[in-house]
Amino acid sequence: NAGVTQTPKFRILKIGQSMTLQCTQDMNHNYMYWYRQDPGMGLKLIYYSVGAGITDKGEVPNGYNVSRSTTEDFPLRLELAAPSQTSVYFCASSYSGKQETQYFGPGTRLLVL
Amino acid sequence: AQSVTQLGSHVSVSEGALVLLRCNYSSSVPPYLFWYVQYPNQGLQLLLKYTSAATLVKGINGFEAEFKKSETSFHLTKPSAHMSDAAEYFCAVSDRPNTPLVFGKGTRLSVIA
């Protein structure tokens, strides 16, 4: 049982490039989330999904896109990378929303130059 | 809207001393409350959670937290700090079904030998 896995671990992008951050969970969780973490700012929710085919915006969705075609996978797409997207990105999953524990992946560190 | 305030972005304690990390929440309905810990270069993992069963909640690694409705607080404590407790700690709240957690900005705990 691998839990939540994320790839890549680290990536450097040039301004204007695009990339997809991968996230997979093997716990059959309905809910999945993408957060970004910036120093001293805590975690900010980018997008979340309550099940396959259903996604919703979080607090900071601009510049990102997501899709959820399967229960297991929840990729995050950056279309036109900007320096403001330099951050550490975490994917998480849970059985449902309100009181369930969220399980986090190890994170992807992204540097946009 | 729900929100979380963590007092003190950095707390430093001596090994063996009491650890007290403060968390206050804002919610219009009874909330679910969580403490997560993040060790360097890792994702977040659950320390403990309050889901209305008991106001004093015991978690992993000797940590506990007490829900105080009158003070809208959920402070995290540990009687005796260990060097391995050095990490960043996040308080989070959820008060509505099917909505993601709202995280505080985090408190970095340093333990001095």
- Calculate mean pLDDT across residues B61-71: 94
**Cβ B94–A106 below 8 Å, yes or no?**
no
- Listed by number, the residues of chain A in 48-87 with a beta carbon closer than 8 Å to a beta carbon of chain B are 48, 50, 58
Q: Quick one: CA dihedral B81, B83, B84, B85, positive or negative?
A: positive
pLDDT at B99 over 90: no
Chain A residue with the nearest C-alpha to that of B94: A98
The rounded distance, in Å, linking the Cα atoms of A90 and A102 is 11
Q: What is the pLDDT of residue B97?
A: 65
**Cβ A107–B43 below 8 Å, yes or no?**
yes
Q: What is the pLDDT of residue B16?
A: 97
- Three-state DSSP string of A33-101: EEEEECCCCCEEEEEEEEECCEEEECCCCCCEEECCCCCCECCEEECCCCHHHCEEEEEEEECCCCCCC
Number of residues that this document lists for chain A: 113
Lowest mean pLDDT among B35-44, B49-58, B96-105: B96-105
Neighbours of A34 (CB within 10 A): 27
Write down the mean pLDDT value for chain B.
91
Residue B76 to chain A, least CA–CA distance (Å): 17
In a 13 Å sphere around the CA of B96, the CA atoms on its Cβ side amount to 9
pLDDT of chain A along its 113 residues, tens only?
Answer: 789 999 999 999 999 999 999 999 999 999 999 999 998 888 999 999 999 999 999 999 999 999 999 999 999 999 899 999 999 999 999 987 556 788 999 999 999 99
Q: Taking CB atoms and an 8 Å cutoff, what residues of chain B touch A107?
A: 41-43
Q: pLDDT tens digits for B10-37?
A: 999 999 999 999 999 987 777 889 999 9
Band of pLDDT at residue B109, cut at 50, 70 and 90? very high
pLDDT at B101 over 90: no
Number of residues that this document lists for chain B: 113
The rounded distance, in Å, linking the Cα atoms of A37 and A70 is 26
pLDDT at B110 over 80: yes
Among residues A32, A5, A19, the alpha carbon closest in space to that of A111 is found at A19
